[in-house]
Amino acid sequence: MKPEHLNVPVLNAPDLPPTAHQGSDCRSVASVLARVGDKWSVLVIMLLGGGPRRFNELKRMVGGISQRMLTLTLRGLERDGLITRTVFPTIPPRVDYELTDLGRGLWKPVKALGQWAHQHQSEIESAPSDHHRLAIRRA
């Protein structure tokens, strides 16, 4: 993302209080969203909303994620204070991942986004073909 893309004026929505936005506000929000808004992080946060999970359980539930990408995603979420990693001294060692209070606060809007995506999946998937048909008519 180029720096000039972060200096976009923000219009206040009618249901939000008026605020003065600075370019630095947008940059800080963009930074947070980049860290927690990637598809793997969102999926892991959604799954951990149901309670603690083990690594292999998460890997099975998140279809298509590699072991390395899941490891990197979990480390990043832990570093950002969104999940905790608890190691139990068993043989073999058991490791559970769980949302922190901060992560549970993020889980609510992530869950709403997931529900919205599920409800509108067919509309979104058909949009490219609709757009293509319109482009052909205009030509």
Over the stretch 101-111, which tens digit does the pLDDT of each residue have? Answer: 999 999 999 98
Q: What is the pLDDT of residue 131?
A: 59
In a domain, 78, yes or no: yes
Check: pTM over 0.85? Answer yes or no.
Answer: no
Give the number of other CB atoms < 10 A from CB of residue 12.
11
Q: Which residue has the higher pLDDT, 4 or 101?
A: 101
The amino acid present at 56, given as its one-letter code, is N
In a domain, 126, yes or no: no
Q: What is the pLDDT of residue 45?
A: 95
User: What region does 51 belong to: left with phi over 0, alpha with psi -120 to 50, or beta?
Assistant: left
For residue 139, name the pLDDT band (cuts at 50, 70, 90). Answer: low
Lowest-confidence pick of 11-15, 59-63, 124-128: 11-15
CA 27, 40, 43, 5: dihedral to nearest 10 degrees?
20
- Per the structure, the complete domain to which residue 40 belongs is given by 32-118
Cis peptide before 93 (omega within 30 of 0): no
Give the number of other CB atoms < 10 A from CB of residue 112.
10
User: What region does 64 belong to: left with phi over 0, alpha with psi -120 to 50, or beta?
Assistant: left
In a domain, 16, yes or no: no
In a domain, 20, yes or no: no
Read off the CATH number of the domain in which 90 is found.
1.10.10.10
In a domain, 3, yes or no: no
Q: How many domains does the chain have?
A: 1
